[in-house]
Structure 1
Amino acid sequence: MKHRYTFYWILWGLGELSGLGQWLLLRWALPVPEHELLLTFSLLPFVYLVPNILGNHLPLNVTRLLARIGGYWFIYGYYMTLLLLPAFAVWLVCLAQPFGLSLDWGHTVFSVYYGRASLLGLAALLAVGSWRARHPVMHRIEMETEKPIERAFSVAFASDIHLGAVLGHSFAAELRRDMMNLQPDLILFGGDIIDGDLGYVLRDKSFKGFAGLKAPWGVYAVFGNHDTYGMNLSKEQKRLKQ
């Protein structure tokens, strides 16, 4: 547990550094007072930290809200940090003032258009990613084998479900319904059944969404690295068996 908390504290620190860099870029691109913008970029990493550190001590709805805001910030922050690299490279070039370029041009022209384009691109990425996360794509794959199987045998496989604050009980229930509609002979779950916080998943009763999931040859699952973040594989295994 100690190492898990250390991991989130490190992410918080990196998020604060990234937020400072974003502020240096976006304060020229957004019609927002500089102090308010800096405060926003300073608070967002903290919003991500709180539900991961204190989630089990907060009301479920509060944890869910903070975790969702923090989750979207994490994805945004990851890509925005990458987009800062070319921005800082341009600023370094402007310091040398080649071809008449200057920091003034970097602030009033480059930062404005690059910053706004980055935000619009990331907004589109988050919108598409959020929609796709809630609408799983089903692929049908047919394979032939020389093994002595008397008839066509169907396997339904789902992986990286990441149950948590974003995808919870209702998503698990929809997944169960979709898999049962396939009427497979065997059901398999790949790793990362939970996103990492087993306590939240149990409080949300997300696993109950799988109630009634069955197949003639059984339902089997393996754990992934995110399941180990829950710090109690035996408890997760017991709940899944139920």
Structure 2
Amino acid sequence: MIEVYTAPTPNGWKISIMLEECGLPYRTHWVDIGKGEQFAPEFLAISPNNRIPAIVDSDPVDGGVPVSVFETGAILLYLADKTGQFIPADLRGRTQVLEWLAWQIAGLGPMLGQHGHFALYAPERLPYPTERYRHETLRLYGVLDRRLTGREYIAADEYTIADIACWPWVRTWKAQGVPLADFPAVQAWYDRLKLRDGLRRGVALGADRVRRRPQDDAEAARTLFGFHKDQA
């Protein structure tokens, strides 16, 4: 059994998608990040960076004591290695997957996160950071579009954790105002993958818990972003 500590966000969906795709049994523990539950000592014991998601595997492959894992890239790789799924066994294929997984966790996720913050949630609309992160968001979409041109999947020749890592962030395209039609290879990849049953189940997890406008909740805004709703 995998214990999953998560919230309905792009990073949280990466792990629920992976678990559904792998067919691993898991139990969900919701962490209300708007209420600051990510700072609780019990959660920090498994996720010292106070970020969701994190997992605890009570049945690790070495048969030893439970293993806790934090950070989405590490969790995806751990689950791929545990199950032998969604990562190639050969050197070159595995290396490609690791490259694009690193690209997502170092680039696509953080840049889209910053763009989303300044464009959607910041109490004051600041042109410079908004445009700075929008430019970088569109650049990264261009990188992904070139990579996917003539390809079914991001890395190797199969569906892998690189696709699982990127898809939930691309899913935010409409809210972030990204002109997806300008990136036809990304759009085709996105539309193909959203037909997968495991992905659909994973991204549906916690749909009723999504906080649509956290900036309208003073306590949530202060916890998530460090400001009050009415801060000028």
**Structure 1-normalised TM-score?**
0.25
**Structure 2-normalised TM-score?**
0.26
Higher alpha-carbon Rg: 1
Higher relative contact order (CA 8 A, sep 6+): 2
> If each structure's helix is expressed as a fraction of its own residues, which one has the higher value?
1
